[in-house]
Amino acid sequence: MNDKLTFNVLLLSMILLSCTAKIVSRNYYQVNAAQLETIEKDYKQLYKEKPFSLAFTSKAFTTVQVEIITDTLTYIYDFDVDGRPILDTLQKYGLRQNKIYSLITKMKKIRCTWINSFDYYVNDKEQHLIFISIKPVLVRYPLSPPRYYIIAYFDRPQSFDKMGRLLDGKRVDRLRKLNGQVFKKITDRVCYTIAEKYR
Amino acid sequence: MDDLIKKFFLFLCILSLGSYAFGMTAKEDSLHTSTQKEAILFIDSIKHMPPSGAWPHVSSRLFLENLKLNIHYPLSFYPGRGTNFCAYGALSYLVIKDDPLGYAKFMITIYKEGSAVYNKIKFTPSSSVMSAAGTLRFKGVLDIRHAEQIWFLTLADHFKGYLNLLNLNYDLGDEDTFWASTNLSKFNRMVRKMCNYNTTSAGSDLLHPWISNPFQYLEKRLGKGILVLYINNRIIHKKNHDKIKFSIPTHFVVLENIARAGDKVTLTYWDYGGKTLLQITPSVLKKIIYGISFAQK
């Protein structure tokens, strides 16, 4: 009886561990690569027209925080995803409401919690990278911190060490941390990390 | 170890309650103020800066460009993405409004000589800070703002509070750690030492101020001086989806405007080189505010 119970507990643990390991790994990118690429391209295009960022601030993906960046002010608004006010506000600030709403829908579908564009500088020239955070479906141990899968899309190829860790462009021996995290290679311009915070 | 943590927490509580609700006032007896026009005349007369031996990684061109930007556009100060320089950003807002010429002259001197005096305070940055200025990366536009890198690193190296006790000396990357952190009383102390304002303060590092209606409190003072809020930014700028959060203040912002319509309070504040407009409920306003510093001439 005890052996059977031990076997079942071990089996369950292995299933849980394998689920966790499978979802929070570079496999997530491979499985969702096409959707992620579409989201990145759409966002990049829309951001060029008018800068903004999106974050799902509720666990159930029902509330979205929109940051609209203008020359004089950054506006921060929280909206119900399915409500009318979000469309009215996007229109008010001259953003493409239908395209952004479509982007929000695509993000929700694959549980993207945040998308934003960051500036950085190479030889004093401004460059941009796009962050996409995902809240994977996984079983968490009680009181364990949440885990988010964060993907960084660079415009140009980056340097990595032998372990696939992102390096500082200028000093090749120095790891480049983004938001305090070490990122690992997926492709030469895409890398990922797993963090407790999505932004 | 547990005992040590308990003692440290008790220490924090005592320090925090020490300034709680009673407010702190300081009056400077000599006003030393300059105008933006004077500062522009001074800074625009400098056409070229030679490289400085004191700051080996600072580009003289980026330094001068950045200094001119600060003088011409005082709200341009950007404490950097992911750093703990937000309090120094708010302090810069007060300094540049109070004495832009003094700021410009101080920066030129510290760049050339490696140490300088501002408002009777001598700043002598450590060699690790001098070596780090000009090398900060992935902090947004701060990457190419070499005067601000010198300014923020020098301030953080000089002013210390209890949050800095465990990390007093700068190591590479410490701009993101407790080395650069600021608590409310340290912020007030920096304002009193660096600026010629009368300052009053309410609140603490662990408990909200005893103010029944924060909206009225802020509205009443707005326009009569500069209001700096010490807030828990994690409530309005969530970073994860956990419902249980350890509630502590994390960010300093300068209040530019506040208005109320129905159950919505619209806050306009300055931080990170620009203004942000945010709509929240009165209860969230009460929940996010831990400290209010009011600086008046």
Q: Which residues of B touch A113 (CB under 8 A)?
A: 241
CB A51 within 8 A of CB A44: no
- Measured distance CA(B58)–CA(B50) in Å, rounded: 11
- pLDDT reported for residue A73: 94
Q: What angle do CA B287, B288, B292 make, to 5 degrees?
A: 110
Q: Which of A77, A50, A74 is nearest to A66 (CA)?
A: A77
- 3-state class (DSSP) for residue A25: coil
Whether A196 sits inside 8 A of B240 (CB atoms) is yes
- Measured distance CA(A179)–CA(B81) in Å, rounded: 8
- Tell me which residue in B144, B240, B276 faces A74 most closely, judged by beta carbons: B276
Would you write out chain A's pLDDT as a tens digit for each of its 199 residues? 566 666 666 555 554 444 444 445 557 788 888 999 999 999 999 999 999 999 999 989 999 999 999 988 999 999 999 988 999 999 999 999 999 999 999 999 999 999 999 999 988 999 999 999 998 876 556 666 678 899 999 998 999 998 999 998 756 678 888 888 899 999 999 999 998 888 8
- pLDDT reported for residue B28: 39
- Measured distance CA(B257)–CA(B168) in Å, rounded: 36
pLDDT, tens only, B71-87: 999 999 999 999 999 99
Q: Domain boundaries in chain B?
A: 18-28+197-296, 36-184
CA–CA min distance A110, chain B (Å): 16
Would you write out chain B's pLDDT as a tens digit for each of its 297 residues? 445 444 544 555 455 444 443 344 443 334 457 999 999 999 999 999 999 999 999 999 999 999 999 999 999 999 999 999 999 999 999 999 999 999 999 999 999 999 999 999 999 999 999 999 999 988 999 999 999 999 999 999 999 999 999 999 999 999 999 999 999 999 999 999 999 899 999 999 999 999 999 999 999 999 999 999 999 988 888 888 777 667 899 999 999 999 999 999 999 999 999 999 999 999 999 999 999 999 998
Task: Report pTM.
Answer: 0.86
Altogether, the residues listed in chain B come to a count of 297
- pLDDT reported for residue A69: 94
pLDDT, tens only, B119-161: 999 999 999 999 999 999 889 999 999 999 999 999 999 999 9
Between the CA of residue B71 and those of A142, A154, B87, B123, B297, what are the distances in Å? 53, 34, 20, 21, 21
CA–CA min distance B69, chain A (Å): 16
Q: How crowded is residue A9: how many other Cβ atoms within 10 Å of its Cβ? A: 10
Torsion angles phi and psi, residue A31, rounded to 5 = -70, -40
Whether A177 sits inside 8 A of B277 (CB atoms) is no
- pLDDT reported for residue A34: 92
Q: How crowded is residue A33: how many other Cβ atoms within 10 Å of its Cβ? A: 13
- pLDDT reported for residue B126: 97
CB B148 within 8 A of CB B175: no
Mutation for B interface: A65, A89, A119, most B CBs within 10 A: A119
- pLDDT reported for residue A49: 94
Q: Which residues of A touch B240 (CB under 8 A)?
A: 145-146, 148, 196-198
- Measured distance CA(B66)–CA(B131) in Å, rounded: 19
Q: How crowded is residue A135: how many other Cβ atoms within 10 Å of its Cβ? A: 20
Single-letter amino acid, residue A77 = Y
- pLDDT reported for residue A19: 45
Three-state SS annotation for chain B: CHHHHHHHHHHHHHHHHHCCCCCCCECCCCCCCCCHHHHHHHHHCCCCCCCCCCCCCCCHHHHHHHHHHHHHCHHHCCCCCCCCCHHHHHHHHHHHHHCHHHHHHHHHHHHHHCCEEECCEEECCCHHHHHHCCCCCCECEHHHCHHHHHHHHHHHHHCCCHHHCCCCCCCCCHHHCHHHCCCHHHHHHHHHHHCCCEEEEEECCCCCCCCCCHHHHHHHHCCCCEEEEEECHHHHCCCCCCCCCCCCCCEEEEEEEEEEECCEEEEEEEECCEEEEEEECHHHHHHHEEEEEEEEC
Q: How crowded is residue B245: how many other Cβ atoms within 10 Å of its Cβ? A: 12
How far the first Cα of chain B sits from its last, in Å, is 47
Whether B276 sits inside 8 A of A77 (CB atoms) is no
How many A×B Cβ pairs under 8 Å? 67
For residue A159, the 8-state DSSP code is: -
| Ramachandran bin of A114, using left for φ above 0, alpha for ψ from -120 to 50, beta for the remaining angles | beta
- Measured distance CA(B106)–CA(B118) in Å, rounded: 6
Determine the angle formed by the axes of helices A27-49 and A97-109, rounding to 10 degrees: 170
Q: How crowded is residue A62: how many other Cβ atoms within 10 Å of its Cβ? A: 14
Q: Which of A91, A105, A92, A87 is nearest to A42 (CA)?
A: A105
| Ramachandran bin of B101, using left for φ above 0, alpha for ψ from -120 to 50, beta for the remaining angles | alpha
Q: How crowded is residue A136: how many other Cβ atoms within 10 Å of its Cβ? A: 18
- pLDDT reported for residue A12: 57
Mutation for A interface: B240, B277, B279, most A CBs within 10 A: B240
